[in-house]
Amino acid sequence: MQPKPFPDEQPPETSHLEKRRAAIIAECRRQEESCLYTSTTLFIWLRAVRIQKQIFVAAPIVIGGIASLSILQDWGYEWVIAILALVASLFPALADALKIETSVDEISRLGAEFKSLQDRFRRIATITALGDVQAAEQGLAELMDRMDIARSHSITPPESAFTKAQKKIEAGHYSFQADKAH
């Protein structure tokens, strides 16, 4: 006669299954946090790039307007007019060289992708992994493939955007009341 296992002991296959479940949940949580920091950093950077874009659109108009003031000609400041006209003409070339329009589109798209991945990792950790471990593992693998694609763009936000994102996250700006209740 075999001794009865202690009530809190689980059969080996159950223990292995629970270890897999815990590992999947832990990995999903790590990736969720990574996506939170990445998406927040990208969105903060996006705000700055949009402001730069607005400056590059408005500045040549304003500078050109100042250059066209007849009072400058009346005062004999033709050289000022020439310099202002030159500076105003440089903005479109600089905006094109800096690829500001492309940056806005790419940063926006990648920020949204990382935010979407963050939500998907959270769902696997809090819902899918509590049920079918195989489905959770498959879902995690699919999300990691998407993550690899998103990371392959190698877009590099400035450190200042990451620092601002870190402060906002640590201050609780991205914590939901529903999550605090659990």
Question: Any idea how long the chain is?
Answer: 182
pLDDT of the residue at 79: 86
CB 161 within 8 Å of CB 48: yes
* Domain residue ranges of the chain, discontinuous segments joined by +: 24-156
Q: 10 Å Cβ neighbour count for 16?
A: 12
With b for 16 or more beta-carbon neighbours within 10 A and e for fewer, the 142-163 pattern comes to ebeeebeebeeeebebeeebbe
- Give dist(CA 88, CA 76) in Å, integer: 20
Q: How far apart are CA 140 and CA 133, in angstroms?
A: 10
95 contact partners, CB below 8 Å, separation of at least 6: 53, 56, 57, 101
Q: Residue 105: what pLDDT?
A: 92
pTM above 0.85, yes or no: no
Among candidates 113, 116, 135, 124, which has minimal Cα distance to 27?
A: 124
- All residue ranges of the chain with pLDDT < 70 are 1-13, 177-182
Query: Cα separation of 52 and 40, whole Å?
Result: 19
**Per-residue model confidence (pLDDT) at position 101:** 74
Per the CB < 8 A criterion, the answer to whether 95 and 56 are in contact is: yes
